């Protein structure tokens, strides 16, 4: 339902008991655009301050009269952020854990959802409920027992000293996926069974049916699930913080927070440059796939 | 008969191969730790020998006798209540605004939503710079008016307000997007009919929009409560729960007791159990409500 701009302000004024019964169309249009501009500024000013800080030399930051935009923009902060710390290894750690973690999640979401919809199994519903219930258990409240599990897990002798401070230790506990499975299951159920049966008649087993029929049809939902997994893994903070013990194994979100100086002598230019490097991949993903992300997030809410 | 059985048996194998790994990981890293938390809550656990000694309710007693426990509960309540109220109120306002026929509303919607996809630690770092009382943006804005900028994160009276502000800034777009979807799901005919009956905008808002949005509002309230209980990265980066515990909430305290100095694993497990019970009750509440709504409509 579309509200006229006028209605919005009548509602707003009524809320605050302002005795204006008739707001003219023009005035309300102007007020509408003014509020929208205010909202846009509220979100973009912090981002603007981040970009401008990343481009400033120290003397333009550590001054009583800083300007909004640098007088002499420089890329020097980026060079220093990347070279003065083991930034390369932070970046590689983030890329490896994100790509493998997200890939594992997407593959398992696809195969699990397929099994739940198209493969006959006596306890299918029980498995579904088990996965759904896992959505209710936030990672934060089980970090300590999981830490103990990972510390003592050798993974069949592959990690004789336990999996702390290893990629496997970062990735494995978060590799299972409930929300994406749920999302794909809903989508798979809308695929006409004729399509799947036709593949069966042609002699395709479950593997081929999944790859050649279901995956191509369900691409939008798979993209949604992949985007959500990617951003969640890239941004993850708590688990990698706990499970990594050396600087060499840190991921980017943890590394940038460690650039802050406890004594208050933080080099803001470098910190902002590093922060930009961390958020740019996600911004790109968001720009190209925001419809998928927003749909995925709104999916569970409104349809209820 | 045997042939059918063999085919079934093959299907079961396929099912296990497809769904098994996911289920196995959930068993090891979600259900088992949940169970272990309950066990650890009644034990005195030694991390070096990896053994626990049964101590009954001792951990619970010590946790509730700890003077900082009250403060932590109080902080969690303040943080959750403020965050949920602000996100619902401003989310609805922004959704009403961005659901009108205004040009550029789509880019503004995307902009508003964008902070929700950014890393919490990145957002926190940027806001620390904005809050900086010597070189930050607030200082800049207030200076011409001769108003001293507060030492946001160093002042116990301001730190919680600063955190709430940043959390709302980051998560407002989520509520807005959901509210917009909710507004669009209200049938147009209801408004048309009300208009014919002579209802003004305020009446229509009160009697159609608000009731029409109530399922969405309820959903958002529950998810916001659950999410705010899990807010960790912003708190860890911006305040470390300080100054003097002013922003120490349940989830941060759990981390602190488990992984910072003065570790106390018994209390960690107690908090894990308590948080699970609280969140479980909130979720059950939501499920019961959804059930009622589905069966009555």
Domains of chain B, first to last: 2-41 (no CATH), 68-296 (1.10.3720.10)
Q: What is the pLDDT at residue B18? A: 94
Query: Cβ neighbours of residue A276 under 8 Å, at least 6 residues apart?
Result: A50, A51, A54, A78
* Residue of chain B minimizing CA distance to A118: B15
Q: What is the pLDDT at residue B297? A: 36
Helix or strand holding residue B68 (H, E): helix B67-98
Do A175 and A154 belong to one domain?
yes
Residue A253 in domain: yes
Torsions phi, psi for B44 (to 5 deg): -100, 105
Distance from CA of B63 to the nearest CA of A (A): 16
Residue A294 in domain: no
Residue A71 in domain: yes
How confident is the model over A151-168, as a mean pLDDT? 89
Distance from CA of A265 to the nearest CA of B (A): 11
Predicted confidence pLDDT, tens digits, chain B (297 residues): 455 666 688 889 999 999 999 999 999 999 999 999 999 999 988 888 888 889 889 999 999 998 899 999 999 999 999 999 999 999 999 999 999 888 888 889 989 999 999 999 999 999 999 988 888 888 887 877 877 777 888 888 899 999 999 999 999 999 999 999 899 888 888 888 888 888 888 888 888 888 889 888 988 998 899 899 889 999 999 998 878 889 999 999 999 999 987 788 999 999 999 999 988 888 887 777 765 554 443
Residue A304 in domain: no
Higher pLDDT: A53 or A20? It is A53
Expressed as residue numbers, the domain containing A28 is 1-10+20-84+261-274
Do A53 and A132 belong to one domain?
no
Do A112 and A42 belong to one domain?
no
A206/B98 touch (CB, cutoff 8 Å), yes or no: no
Distance from CA of B78 to the nearest CA of A (A): 20
CB crowding B255-280: b at 16 or more within 10 Å, else e: bbbbeeeeebbbbbbbbbbbbbebbe
Domain with A109 in it: what CATH number?
1.10.3720.10
> What is d(CA B30, CA A141) in angstroms, rounded to the nearest whole number?
10
Do A231 and A180 belong to one domain?
yes
B25/A283 touch (CB, cutoff 8 Å), yes or no: no
Alpha-carbon separation of residue A71 from A5, A60, A66, A76, B132 (angstroms): 40, 8, 10, 14, 21
Residue A116 in domain: yes
Q: B93 contacts in A (CB within 8 Å)? A: 12
Residue A257 has its nearest CB partner, among B101, B121, B200, at B121
Do A53 and A5 belong to one domain?
yes
Q: A188: alpha, beta or left, given left = phi > 0 and alpha = psi -120 to 50?
A: alpha
Pick from B53, B82, B109, B72: which is nearest to B252 by CA?
B72
How confident is the model over A210-238, as a mean pLDDT? 90
Question: Please, are residues A108 and A175 in contact by the beta-carbon 8 Å criterion?
Answer: yes
Do A150 and A66 belong to one domain?
no
Residue A21 has pLDDT above 80, yes or no: no
Residue A111 in domain: yes
Give Cα A256 distance to the centre of its chain: 17
Q: What is the pLDDT at residue A84? A: 81
- A302 at interface of B, judged by CB pairs closer than 8 A: yes
Higher pLDDT: A3 or B237? It is B237
Report the percentage of chain A scoring pLDDT > 90. 40
Residue A215 in domain: yes
Please write down the HEC assignment for all residues of A123-139.
CHHHHHHHHHHHCCCCH
Residue A35 has its nearest CB partner, among B97, B169, B185, at B97
Q: What is the pLDDT at residue A107? A: 96
Higher pLDDT: B150 or A1? It is B150
Question: Please, are residues A140 and B272 in contact by the beta-carbon 8 Å criterion?
Answer: no
Its pTM stands at 0.89
* Residue of chain B minimizing CA distance to A298: B178
Q: What is the pLDDT at residue B261? A: 74
Most confident of the ranges A18-27, A186-195, B266-275:
B266-275
Return the CA Rg of chain A.
25
**For residue A1, what pLDDT band results from cuts at 50, 70 and 90?**
very low
Q: What is the pLDDT at residue B214? A: 87
A275/B125 touch (CB, cutoff 8 Å), yes or no: yes
What is the count of residue pairs from A and B with beta carbons less than 8 Å apart?
303
- A61 at interface of B, judged by CB pairs closer than 8 A: yes
Do A147 and A75 belong to one domain?
no
ipTM value = 0.89
Higher pLDDT: A94 or A31? It is A94
Residue B33 has its nearest CB partner, among A5, A149, A178, at A149
Beta bridge partners of B51: B46
Do A135 and A222 belong to one domain?
yes
Q: A61 contacts in B (CB within 8 Å)? A: 135
Residue A291 in domain: no
Alpha-carbon separation of residue B45 from B39, B42, B265, B275 (angstroms): 10, 9, 7, 20
Q: What is the pLDDT at residue B38? A: 93
Residue A158 has pLDDT above 90, yes or no: no
> What is d(CA A185, CA A207) in angstroms, rounded to the nearest whole number?
17
Q: B37 contacts in A (CB within 8 Å)? A: 141-142, 144-145
Q: What is the pLDDT at residue A113? A: 94
Do A247 and A270 belong to one domain?
no
Residue A5 has pLDDT above 60, yes or no: no
The structure tokens listed for B200 are: 């003004």
Residue A145 has its nearest CB partner, among B33, B220, B283, at B33
Do A114 and A223 belong to one domain?
yes
Residue B125 has its nearest CB partner, among A3, A66, A256, at A256
Do A268 and A228 belong to one domain?
no
A43/B177 touch (CB, cutoff 8 Å), yes or no: no
Task: Give me the DSSP letters along B110-161.
Answer: HHHHGGGGS-HHHHHHHHHHHH-TTTSHHHHHHGGGTPPPP-GGGSHHHHHH
A32/B97 touch (CB, cutoff 8 Å), yes or no: yes
Question: Please, are residues A245 and A165 in contact by the beta-carbon 8 Å criterion?
Answer: yes
Question: Please, are residues B256 and B241 in contact by the beta-carbon 8 Å criterion?
Answer: yes
Helix axis angle, B156-185 relative to B120-131, nearest 10°? 130
Q: What is the pLDDT at residue A105? A: 95
B100/A2 touch (CB, cutoff 8 Å), yes or no: yes
How confident is the model over A150-156, as a mean pLDDT? 89
How confident is the model over A14-39, as a mean pLDDT? 74
Do A176 and A74 belong to one domain?
no
Count of domains forming chain A:
2
């Amino acid at each position: 339902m579309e509200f006229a701009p006028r209605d919005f302000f009548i509602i707003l004024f009524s809320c605050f008991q302002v005795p204006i019964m008739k707001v003219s169309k023009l005035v309300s249009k102007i007020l509408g655009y003014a509020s929208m501009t205010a909202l846009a500024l509220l979100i973009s000013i912090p981002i603007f301050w981040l970009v401008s800080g990343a481009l400033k030399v120290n003397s333009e930051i550590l001054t009583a009269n800083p300007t909004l935009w640098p007088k002499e923009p420089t890329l020097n902060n980026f060079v220093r952020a990347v070279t003065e710390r083991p930034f390369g290894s932070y970046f590689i750690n983030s890329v490896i854990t994100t790509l493998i973690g997200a890939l594992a999640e997407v593959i398992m979401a696809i195969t699990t959802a397929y099994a739940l919809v198209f493969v006959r199994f006596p306890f299918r519903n029980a498995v579904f409920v088990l996965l759904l219930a896992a959505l209710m258990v936030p990672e934060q409240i089980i970090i300590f027992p999981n830490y103990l599990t990972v510390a003592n897990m050798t993974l069949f002798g592959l990690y004789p000293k336990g999996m702390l401070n290893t990629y496997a230790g970062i990735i494995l506990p978060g590799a299972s996926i409930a929300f994406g499975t749920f999302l794909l299951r809903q989508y798979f159920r809308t695929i006409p069974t004729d399509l799947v049966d036709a593949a069966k008649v042609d002699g395709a087993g479950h593997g081929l049916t999944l790859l050649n029929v279901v995956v191509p049809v369900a691409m939008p939902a798979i993209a949604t699930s992949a985007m959500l997994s990617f951003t969640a893994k890239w941004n993850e903070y708590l688990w990698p913080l706990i499970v990594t013990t050396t600087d060499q194994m840190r991921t980017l979100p943890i590394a940038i927070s460690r650039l802050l100086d406890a004594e208050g002598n933080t080099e803001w230019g470098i910190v902002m440059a590093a922060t930009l490097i961390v958020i740019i991949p996600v911004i790109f993903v968001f720009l190209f796939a925001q419809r998928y992300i927003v749909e995925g997030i709104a999916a569970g809410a409104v349809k209820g | 008969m045997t042939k059918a059985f063999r085919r079934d048996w093959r299907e079961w194998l396929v099912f296990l191969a497809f769904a098994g790994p996911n289920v196995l990981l959930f068993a090891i890293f979600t259900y088992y730790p949940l169970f272990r938390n309950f066990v650890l809550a009644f034990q005195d656990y030694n991390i070096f020998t990896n053994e626990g000694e049964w101590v009954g309710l001792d951990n619970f007693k010590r946790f509730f006798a700890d003077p900082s426990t009250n403060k932590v509960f109080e902080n969690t309540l303040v943080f959750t209540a403020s965050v949920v109220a602000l996100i619902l109120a401003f989310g609805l306002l922004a959704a009403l605004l961005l659901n009108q026929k205004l040009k550029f509303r789509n880019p503004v919607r995307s902009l508003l939503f964008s902070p929700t996809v950014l890393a919490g630690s990145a957002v926190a770092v940027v806001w620390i710079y904005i809050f900086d009382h010597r070189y930050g943006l607030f200082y800049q804005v207030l200076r011409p008016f001769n108003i001293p900028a507060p030492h946001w994160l160093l002042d116990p009276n301001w730190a919680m307000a600063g955190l709430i502000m940043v959390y709302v800034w980051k998560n407002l777009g989520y509520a807005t997007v959901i509210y917009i979807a909710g507004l669009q799901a209200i049938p147009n005919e209801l408004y048309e009919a009300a208009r014919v009956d002579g209802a003004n905008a305020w009446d229509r808002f009160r009697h159609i929009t608000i009731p029409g949005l109530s399922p969405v509002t309820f959903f958002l309230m529950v998810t916001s409560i659950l999410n705010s209980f899990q807010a960790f990265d912003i708190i860890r980066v911006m305040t470390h729960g300080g100054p003097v515990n002013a922003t120490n909430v349940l989830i941060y305290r759990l981390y602190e007791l488990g992984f910072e100095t003065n570790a106390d694993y018994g209390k960690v497990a107690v908090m894990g159990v308590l948080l699970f019970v609280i969140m479980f009750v909130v979720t059950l509440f939501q499920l019961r409500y959804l059930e009622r709504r589905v069966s009555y409509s």
